[in-house]
Amino acid sequence: MGLYWRAADLFEKISSPTSPSPAAPPAPNAPIRYAAIGVGGSVPCVSFTPCENGTGYVPVLARQLRASREVTLTNLGIPASVLSPAIETLARQHGRDVTGNFVDRELPFVPRDSTLVTIFGWPGDVNAVGDAMKNGAAGSNITGYIEAQARTFGADYDRLVSGVRGRAPSAFIVILNVPNLAGLPYASQYPLEHRRVLQALSVAFSREANRQAASGAVVVDLMCDPAAYAVSQISSDGYHPNDAGYFHIASRLAAVVNGGPAPVQSTCGQATLVPPL
């Protein structure tokens, strides 16, 4: 339970009036130079291609924004990658097939003239650490191990966001946190104890994503979004969003890019779908 309440306390801090104001979204009707870190969708999209017919949130968002303005897309997403270099190493140590990480393989290619950068894709980090814990990586100190992994993940998130700012100082940065993976259909195959671990990891990693609001990024809250758990928006693998789910994510992003609010809830029922550790 401690993990949940520490996360809730931090959610309160990042949503307080003392947090720095985010970089302004691109002006209405102004051209957008969009760089996307993270992928998704039933139609595979190759990195550095516009993927005009893609069904993931990135090409869908680009099409939605093109309804009112020019959009140039740099799709940096690498399928099966994770955000954190440390978690990439951990995943490989425990036999999980990953293709790289955002910090080392996507950040260096963010165009310097980007005016919009979105970051999403790290439910894979939660699963990678969860797999390591199933293999005994945490020993007997489950909560301590989760907190240590979250701190390391958070440090890599800091590197990623500060790196984006260094490369593209005019970019409006929008981050998506992660749903509670314990509440997705694929998790029903696991014993309750592993679902509790997935929940604790999801909340802790969302905490680190939410914390980026203190550096001026905007966070779109999927943890507390009921639609993120709707079976009608989840693919047949019970884990990834389907096309409808990615359309929903794109629409939420478009609303923020067009100047809409992006409140992050201090607490919600979706953060405790199973009994906390």
Count how many domains the chain has: 1
Q: Is residue 25 part of a domain?
A: no
147 near 204, Cβ under 8 Å? yes
DSSP string, 56-89: SHHHHHHHHHTTTS-EEEEE---TT-BS-HHHHH
Instruction: List the domain range (segments joined by +) for residue 223.
Output: 2-15+32-272
3-state secondary structure of 172: strand
C-alpha distance across the termini of the chain, in Å: 5
Q: Which residue has the tokens 């940096």?
A: 76
Reported as a single tens digit per residue, the pLDDT across 17-58 is 334 455 789 999 899 999 999 877 666 677 777 787 889 999
Residue 23 belongs to some domain of the structure: no
Distance CA 272, CA 160 (A): 28
What confidence score (pLDDT) does residue 22 get? 56
- The DSSP symbol for 181 reads G
182 within some domain: yes
Whether 26 maps to a domain, the answer reads no
- One digit per residue, pLDDT tens: the chain, 277 residues? 333 333 344 343 333 333 445 578 999 989 999 999 987 766 667 777 778 788 999 999 999 999 999 999 999 988 889 999 999 999 999 999 999 999 999 999 999 999 999 999 778 999 999 999 999 999 999 999 999 999 999 999 999 999 999 999 999 999 999 999 999 999 999 999 999 999 999 999 999 999 999 888 999 999 999 999 999 999 999 999 999 999 999 999 999 999 998 888 878 999 999 999 9
What's at 9, amino acid-wise?
A: D
Q: What is the CATH number of the domain that holds 141?
A: 3.40.50.1110
Write down the pTM of the prediction: 0.90
Q: Do the domain assignments include residue 197?
A: yes
Reported as type and span, the H/E element at residue 226 is none
Q: Could you tell me if residue 180 is inside a domain?
A: yes
